[in-house]
Amino acid sequence: MKLFRNLLDKIKPNFEKGGKFEKLHPVYDAIETFLFVPNHTTPAKGAQIRDAIDLKRTMVTVIIAMIPAMLFGMWNVGYQHFKAIGEEADLLTNFLYGLKEVLPLIIVSYAAGLTVEFIFASINNHSVNEGFLVSGLLIPLILPIGVPLWMVAVATIFAVLIGKEVFGGTGMNILNVALTARAFLFFAYPSFMSGDKVWINTEGGQLVDGFSGATALGDAASKMPIDTFTQKYSMMESFIGTIPGSIGETSAAAILIGAFILLFTGIASWRVMLSVFAGGYVMAIIFNGFADVLPDNTLFQIPALQHLLIGGFLFGAVFMATDPVTAAQTDIGKYIYGFLVGLFAIMIRVFNPAYPEGMMLAILFMNVMAPLIDHYVIQANVKRRLKRAQVTA
């Protein structure tokens, strides 16, 4: 580390004002601060000591929380592949296959996104924000394995550019960056984002009899009878995650480990997470109650708990809805925001079979609505204060 420090100190003058690469100072700064927490001290007036936390620590905690879902997703890619072609494979083979398939997606996502970030930081001469460290991993985890790499790059660039940088960078964006990328692909290249061809890589083998590459939600949306559905996707399988789906979303168990890390450290808001589950569960229970009205809509009949386990609901609830920048910011607002995310996710899922993945749309919609919720919560606070003044006067 002395070596790094000396090296950095040696090249530093080139990147400072008047240096050869003055324009690239944000790039240098990003690398330097990544390697070393800087020697900045508190200003002369004000808080002389500071909490040990910074944004890098926050973001790396989120990444750690995503690792179980990522590792399981890699394994599941391999597992689904070998299952589809009828081959037996052990844990390591499954995992290595998945690693080979998923790693390029992650690399492309980071490379594309960070390039945009660095360019913008250099143009606007602000520091590179750590937010993309999380977005860059989220994007591949919410995509099907069959998506081409160039699409990942295009979607990521779109999301960082239009979803974030035009608003002023991390902290200023209205929409969740990773979901913006997914929504872009979903509407621009729907054939790569839904259906029954993209969730499992079936290359290099003969498909087994009766193979279907659909996800649980896809099957349900295409009116698979509920008995067949619950037989094909048992509650246990939905929980463990040995079913097809986007890379990181299938395993409730792995995601819940992440949720525990986020909640225990206090990085994610328990208010949002809890109320997303509450909203989704309540909505699903209501639909269960009306199951007889539309007997051929399987989604009405899926047990409420299983609704929360399948599709992207859990992943969205834990990692996307809780994004502090795009969620509601007031405590009361967080309850409302989360509840409506869960409610709309199940509603879109059930009513609109064309978009079985309601979570993405629900979160994006509520991202847009979050400032409105906060506005009313804050106005209530303002009114309370005005009323207090009248009472005493």
Rounded to the nearest whole angstrom, what is the least distance from the CB of residue 171 to another protein in the complex? 3
Residue 262 identity (one-letter amino acid): L
Secondary structure of residue 242 in the 3-state scheme:
coil
Residue in this structure with the two tokens 């977005």, named with its chain if needed: 135
Confirm or reject binding of residue 170 to another protein (CB under 8 A): yes
CA angle in degrees (0–180, nearest 5) for 349-232-242: 85
Residue among 312, 34, 335, 278 at smallest CA distance from 176: 312
| Among the listed residues 269, 275, 298, 301, the single contact to another protein using CB under 8 A | 269
**Of the two residues 52 and 293, which places its CB atom closer to another protein in the complex?**
52
Confirm or reject binding of residue 197 to another protein (CB under 8 A): no
Contacts (CB under 8 A) with another protein, residues 370-389? 378, 381-382, 384-386, 388-389
**Of the two residues 48 and 191, which places its CB atom closer to another protein in the complex?**
48
Confirm or reject binding of residue 191 to another protein (CB under 8 A): no
**Of the two residues 227 and 331, which places its CB atom closer to another protein in the complex?**
331
CA 325/CA 393 separation, integer angstroms? 39
Contacts (CB under 8 A) with another protein, residues 310-339? 324-325, 327, 329-331, 334
Distances from the Cα of 174 to the Cαs of 120, 358, 372, in angstroms? 18, 19, 12
Other Cβ atoms less than 10 A from the Cβ of 212: the count is 16
Binding mask 222-261 for another protein (x = CB under 8 A): ----------------------------------------
Rounded to the nearest whole angstrom, what is the least distance from the CB of residue 245 to another protein in the complex? 29
| Among the listed residues 10, 17, 18, 51, the single contact to another protein using CB under 8 A | 51
CA 102/CA 66 separation, integer angstroms? 14
Confirm or reject binding of residue 10 to another protein (CB under 8 A): no
Q: Which two tokens stand for residue 76?
A: 């599941």
Residue 101 identity (one-letter amino acid): E
On the CB side of 389, how many CA atoms lie within 13 Å of its CA? 6
Query: Residue 39: which H helix or E strand, with range?
Result: none
Q: Within 206-265, where are the H helices?
A: 216-221, 226-232, 235-240, 252-265
Confirm or reject binding of residue 16 to another protein (CB under 8 A): no
| Among the listed residues 5, 20, 23, 197, the single contact to another protein using CB under 8 A | 5
Rounded to the nearest whole angstrom, what is the least distance from the CB of residue 325 to another protein in the complex? 6
Q: Longest Cα pair distance anywhere in the chain, in angstroms?
A: 83
Rounded to the nearest whole angstrom, what is the least distance from the CB of residue 348 to another protein in the complex? 26
CA 114/CA 128 separation, integer angstroms? 9
| Among the listed residues 15, 61, 156, 186, the single contact to another protein using CB under 8 A | 61
Cβ proximity of 274 and 341 under 8 Å? no
Q: Which residues make up the interface to another protein (CB under 8 A)?
A: 1, 4-5, 33, 35-58, 60-61, 127, 129-131, 168-172, 264-267, 269, 324-325, 327, 329-331, 334, 378, 381-382, 384-386, 388-389, 392-393
